[in-house]
Each structure stands twice: as C-alpha cells, then as structure tokens.
C-alpha cells in the first residue's frame, strides 16, 4: 500500500469515527468504551504485524513499539474503568 493511500484511509477513518462518536448518547459511553477496546485490540495486531515484518525499518520498529505500548495501555485502562463502573451498580450484598 502506498503512503498516500494509507494516509487517505487514516484521515477518512478519523473523520468517520469522530462523527459516529459525537452522536452517541451519554448513557452509552461505557458500552462504547468496551467497543473501542475491541477496536484497539485490532490495532495491536496490526502494529505487531507491521513491526515484526522483515521489511520493517528502524523507524517503523520504534513507531510500532510506541503504538503497541499506547494501545495496550488504552485497552487495560479501559477494562479497569469499565469494571469499576459496573461494580458501582452492584448491590452491596449481591453474590459474586
């Protein structure tokens, strides 16, 4: 894939994502955050594939490592926040 096409797809995905998220009701933010964790998991796989490629340059490997670190942090944080919010709605004496 050439650079121009990759940048075009990235920009298009950014604008579409912003428009979709902007129209989401505040009541759906927690499920939406769980969905973005799934999308982040796809980003991790893509970054690993690109970073581990035999054609990867040093710059590609460094940027891939940064991307993997950022996305994994986002996934773990998202699940921790979602778990904390779900616990807020449980009754104190409920079974686990």
Taking CA atoms, 85 is separated from 78, 80, 81, 82, in Å, by 11, 9, 6, 5
pLDDT of residue 18: 76
| Per-residue tens of pLDDT for the chain, all 96 residues | 577 887 888 888 888 877 877 776 666 666 666 667 677 777 888 888 888 888 888 998 898 899 889 888 887 887 787 788 778 777 777 665
Closest CA to 48 of 61, 30, 32: 61
The rounded distance, in Å, linking the Cα atoms of 11 and 5 is 10
pLDDT of residue 74: 82
pTM: 0.57
Domain ranges of the chain: 26-88
pLDDT of residue 52: 86
Instruction: Tell me what percent of the chain is helix, strand and coil, each rounded to the nearest 5.
Output: 80, 0, 20
């Amino acid at each position: 894939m050439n650079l121009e096409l990759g940048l075009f797809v990235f920009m298009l995905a950014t604008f579409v994502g912003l428009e979709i998220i902007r129209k989401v009701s505040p009541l759906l933010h927690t499920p939406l955050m769980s969905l973005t964790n799934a999308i982040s998991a796809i980003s991790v796989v893509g970054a690993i594939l690109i970073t581990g490629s035999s054609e990867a340059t040093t710059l590609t490997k460094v940027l891939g490592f940064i991307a993997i670190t950022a996305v994994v942090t986002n996934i773990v944080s998202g699940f921790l926040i979602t778990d904390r919010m779900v616990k807020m709605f449980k009754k104190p004496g409920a079974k686990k």
